[in-house]
Amino acid sequence: MTSLPLKLPAEYWSNFTVLKRDIDFIQNHLFETESPLTARELAAVLVEECIRIEHEAQVKEQLSSGDLYLPKETYQIGQKLIFPSLAMKRGQVTATRPGNNPDLGTFEVIEVSFEDGTTKQLASALADHKLNAPPEQKANPDTDLHTILALFGDDITRKLNLALEKDDSLVRIAGAWFPQALLVDIGVGYLNLAEAVLEMNGGEPISTALLMEQVDLPRSSNPKLTEFSMNYTLQEDGRFDEVGSAGEVLWCLRRLEPEEVQNIPAVLKYIPVDYDRVLLTPQMLAIEAQLDDELSETEQKHPKADEVTITLTYPHWRTGTLPISPRVRSFFPTAIESPRIRFTLVDGKTGERMPAWVVREYGYVFGLRKWYEKQKLIPGAYIVIHRSKVPGEVIVEAKTHRPTRDWVRTVLSGSDGGLVFALLKHEIFCEYNERMAVVVPDVNAVDAAFTQKSRLPLNKLVHEMLQKLAGLTPQGHVHAEELYSAVNILRRIPPAPLLAVLAGSNEFTHVGDLHFRLAENAPEEE
């Protein structure tokens, strides 16, 4: 069967815009199928529909300038024709005569003059011919669904999600969309039973299917619709929290979640500081990306890797958390709607499994405090994050070793309620970043100093900490990385604002390779 050579250029998909007709089509599709679909699944359906619409439009345009040539039809002199078997060439009938072939019976011959100046004689009024079947609409590689989704699927899905979010008639649960009007009514009694089941489970998340089974929710003829309706009803009730990673729906009682998951710990809370990024040198921008701070605004692209090594900073050591920096973000599970995601951390050496949480809003992972204590880690310790082949799992490994006695920067309580630094010998059980390592013998004293000093103006705090650290070296020089580590003991601050203070204030002198000292005329802190 002859096919029409239809084409949709790449620009059609790269500049794709979701129209009202597309939303109407998706709504009708969901009503007809009565099955919740993700934006990615809906994008595939929509692409097929767009291909169909554009093909019909192209066929209509192609046929508007003439009639399709079919050997079975008869034609008049002057009639304009289009020839699918000749790549849609256009021509005009210039002459007709009777055909002469006893084997074919009665037929006619037409002479056609084509737009390119060539002429050709063709049969007409011939009932038996392979070209008599109407041409089918068949996509070429430019309109192949799998090719389009591979090249443009992510962008189309993103645009579709944004458009669907503006449609009040649709609801989204765990990434799947469905018309609100078709939802099954789930009574409050089932929600109360669900709360009791989750209470008995001690805060451990439960899947929707298991929860429905436990509360004895009647199954309808459409189990997917019932499950989706249950998910929506739970989502709309403030008692419940959906904490599953992408592709998995898990429910937990919000009041049973750890406090550090519900609210950001004080030592991780950043009060934004105005600063000028123009002050940052290329060397400063490079170290900003290297420090793996979840609050950094770095635009540096990181290649995808199967493992990364990060340095544990004091705020994350204190709270039992890990930063979700741009370099490690792809290792951890995500979900579009879930601000909190429950998953599993696995010790790469022992295989120990640890429940943990991704707190998406604030960019950290919670659940490692006991593991840090067990590994005898200190702030500045190296932690390796491995990509797991198991969905919902992330592998972590501490670079531990037999204890050795090392000289390490130590935080002690000062007489004024602040902190002082000293180089003391300690028994160390892990590999560490020498510029960021610090031993904290008394966390309560540090907590008290944090309360007292965290509200200091940033430039004053930087001055004070640089002065204290400078006393540990003969030259009085302090590296920006050391200063970042020390300042974050008393105030949560990402690298860029701190580096901007160093670069923009005449109180500090850069002596090379991101080492700084107090300027000669800088006042001494009391």
The residue type at 291: L
Which is more confidently placed, 416 or 180? 180
Structure tokens at 447: 């907590």
> What pLDDT sits at residue 82?
81
Cα 157 to the center of its chain, rounded Å? 12
Domain 294-401 has CATH 1.20.210.10: no
- Its CATH class, for the domain covering 183-257, is mainly alpha
pLDDT at 524: 59
What is the rounded CA–CA span in Å between residue 325 and residue 488?
16
* Closest residue by Cα to residue 397 from 420, 368, 422, 363: 368
- For 283, the token pair is 């060397």
Strands 119-124 and 136-139: unpaired
User: Phi/psi of residue 154, each to 5°?
Assistant: -65, -45
pLDDT above 70: residue 3? no
pLDDT tens digits, one per residue of 59-72: 676 666 677 788 88
User: Does the structure show a pLDDT above 80 at 521?
Assistant: no
71-133: which CATH topology?
Thrombin, subunit H (2.40.10)
Q: Give the tokens for residue 401.
A: 């070793």
Quote the mean pLDDT of the chain. Answer: 88
Contact 250, 342 (CB under 8 A): yes
Ranges of beta strands (E only) in 183-284 are 206-207, 240-242, 250-253
Q: Say whether 294-401 and 71-133 share the same fold.
A: no
Average pLDDT estimate for 271-293: 93
pLDDT more than 90, % of the chain = 60
Confidence of residue 503 (pLDDT cuts 50, 70, 90): very high
Domain positions in the chain:
3-62+139-169, 71-133, 183-257, 294-401, 404-518
Helix (H, G, I), strand (E, B) or coil at 21: helix
Name which residue leads in pLDDT, 335 or 1: 335
State pLDDT tens for residues 426-474.
999 999 999 999 999 999 999 999 988 878 899 999 999 999 999 998 8
Residue type, 26: I
- Predicted pLDDT of residue 335: 66
